A = this chain, B = another copy of it.
Amino acid sequence: MPPTTKYDRDTIVEAAFEIAKEGGFSAISTRAVAKRLGCSVAPIYQNFETVDELIAAVVERVRAMSGELLAAQTGPNPFENMGKASLAFAREHPALFREMALEPNDYVAPHEQIEAVMAPVMASDPELADWTDTARRRLFLKMRVFQLGLSAMVANGHLPSWMDEKAAEDLLLETGEEIAAGMLSTRKDEQ
């Protein structure tokens, strides 16, 4: 039988993940991963057909991490949790956030799909109880847009200098409230 395995799939993915965390997925090269592991490229090709397969595994790893960041938000409001998780992702892993959320790829589910998941959540929110379904969806879209914009600024260090982590979260929540309030008052104006 063969000698004992020293570099298994997970070890390799972890090393590649660390590299991607610093330089994005494009920084993952067989030699860079091998160097980080202190080995040659051989173990990589023993565990993956091509480097693209390794990168795909790293993407899965990132998705899992993203899910953990969301699960770590245990507040009562799902929207608040989503927003805070997004900000945490952007702050803690800016390069990965850019790759996942700010580039055209299939990692991000289409808006309609996310909307479909959130529709029942919104319907059960007492604050939105008397909203029409259309209005709820539109509010959700607006909140998602704002959340993406703020997360992008966090990931790129483009926030105003005085704005720390908490201030960013506050801005997100505050604006969410204001958009909702604005939608209500505007609708009132039209009646």
Contacts and interface: CB of A to CB of B under 8 A. Distances in A.
Contacts of A180: 182
A186 interface: yes
Contacts of A142: 146, 171, 175, 178
Interface in A150-191: 150, 152-153, 155-161, 171, 174-175, 177-183, 185-186
A29 to B, nearest CB: 15
A159 B181 CA distance: 24
How many A residues are at the interface, by size bracket?
35 or more
Given A104-B156, A158-B108, A178 B179 contact: yes
Interface in A75-111: 94, 98, 102-104, 108, 110-111
A112 B163 CA distance: 11
B160 A153 contact: no
A41 interface: no
Contacts of A160: 110-112, 115, 141
Contacts of A185: 181-182, 185
A104 B179 contact: no
A23 interface: no
Contacts of A179: 175, 178-179, 182
A145 to B, nearest CB: 4
Given A94-B104, A145-B171, 8 more contacts: A104-B157, A104-B158, A111-B158, A112-B160, A149-B152, A175-B182, A180-B182, A182-B182
Interface of A: 94, 98, 102-104, 108, 110-112, 115, 141-142, 144-150, 152-153, 155-161, 171, 174-175, 177-183, 185-186
4 closest A-B pairs (Cβ-Cβ)? A149-B149, A178-B182, A182-B182, A148-B149
